[in-house]
Amino acid sequence: MSGPDPVDDVVATIARSASEIRQGLVGRRGDVDEENPSGETQAEADVWADELLEDRLTSIDGVAQYASEERSEIVDCEGEGYCVAVDPLDGSSNLKSNNTMGTVFGIYDEPLPAPGTALVASGWILYGPITTMAYARDGSVTRYELTGGERTVVEENVTIPADPLVYGFGGRVPDWPEEFDAYAREVESDPGHKLRYGGAMIGDVNQVLTYGGIFAYPALEGAPRGKLRLQFEGNPIAYLIEAAGGRSSDGSQSILEVEPTDVHQRVPVHVGNTELIDRLETVLE
């Protein structure tokens, strides 16, 4: 007889912790005097959510590694199993203004840093007016509402709507390479498209999953790898968006195909409806 599934345990633990993380944001909106491994100022809540998740996820049987955007070293657990990469609080600069944030996770069956093709599941929690979770496993996406410790299915087999509606692109416009700028102008000139950009990747990507469209944090002049992190952000959202029938790209290939070299490496991120990503790759070629 097979035992409990560690992937289910990891997801249940993250879902249960979400309500606590949300409540714990109150009183933790200040910065600590530290930078994360990517050189960004850490909020008190970043450090706290990371420690909470590390403590809980590393005690699950069948979890071999825990890595997070907020710590430089990978935590090795005793025994073999899955490797969990987490962005404990995505978009934490939105804390100050009290706007949307999220928690992102990827569950890999290879040691980190691992390629996106080694993901067995991924998902995100969105701290919006209510707390929701989008979760991908075995090529299918489920949406949940989270209340207290409870997880309620809202929709199964979620797919990106066929008619793209929203777009949101990160980075300063003057820093966009010429080709990306041309592509952005093309997207925004379509009368069927609306701008939606909130400054937290997960909020913006969740709009794309809900309404169809495209989110990108592209390569920038002076930052050819963009801003977002492959293990904690690029791969998990690419896995989910592809499971929902969309596409991901680093500019020339699926993000899931990008070779991992470092746990904190960055990657240009473009995700959304297939035709929009196909067109992007043509323009960036």
| Total residues in contact with ligand FDP, by rule CB under 6 A | 14
On the 0-12 / 13-18 / 19+ scale of CB atoms within 10 A, 259 is exposed
Nearer to ligand FDP, 13 or 100 (CB): 100
The answer to whether residue 201 forms part of the interface with ligand FDP (CB under 6 A) is: yes
**Least distance from C-beta 197 to ligand FDP, angstroms?**
8
Asked if residue 92 belongs to a known ligand binding site, the reply is yes
Residue partners of 97: CB distance under 8 A and separation at least 6? none
CB count within 10 Å of CB 105 equals 25
Q: Which residues lie across from 249 on neighbouring strands?
A: 270
Compute the distance between CA of residue 190 and CA of residue 6 in angstroms, rounded to an integer: 45
Sequence letter at residue 40: E
163 annotated as belonging to a binding site for a ligand: no
Scanning residues 128 to 187, which ones bind ligand FDP (CB under 6 A)?
A: 170-171
Tell me: cis bond preceding 191? Omega within 30 of 0 counts: no
Q: Which residue has the tokens 């997960």?
A: 202
Among 71, 143, 227, 270, binds ligand FDP (CB under 6 A): 227
Nearer to ligand FDP, 6 or 272 (CB): 272
Minimum gap (Å) between residue 162 Cβ and ligand FDP: 25
Stretch that binds ligand FDP, among 49-57, 115-123, 227-235, 272-280 (CB under 6 A): 227-235
Applying CB under 6 A, the span of 71-79, 180-188, 197-205, 249-257 interacting with ligand FDP comes to 197-205
Taking the C-alpha atoms of residue 235 and residue 254, their distance in angstroms, rounded to an integer, is 9
Find the part of the chain contacting ligand FDP (CB under 6 A) among 124-132, 134-142, 226-234, 235-243: 226-234
Q: Which residue stretch of 4-12, 72-80, 153-161, 225-233 sits at the interface with ligand FDP (rule: CB under 6 A)? A: 225-233
3-class SS string, 192-252:
CCEECCCCCHHHHHHHHHHHCEEEEECCECCECCCCCEHHHHHHHHHHHHHHCCCEEECCC
Question: Does the annotation place 135 within a ligand binding site?
Answer: no
Per-residue mark of binding to ligand FDP, 61-100 (x: CB under 6 A): -----------------------------xxxx-------
Q: Is 279 exposed, middle or buried (0-12, 13-18, 19+ CB in 10 A)?
A: middle
User: Which amino acid makes up residue 125?
Assistant: I
Minimal distance, residue 267 CB to ligand FDP, in Å = 12
Tell me: is residue 227 an annotated ligand-binding position.
yes
For the annotated binding site for Mg(2+), the residues are 69, 87, 89-90, 233
Catalog residues that contact ligand FDP under the rule CB under 6 A: 40, 90-93, 170-171, 199-201, 217, 227-228, 233
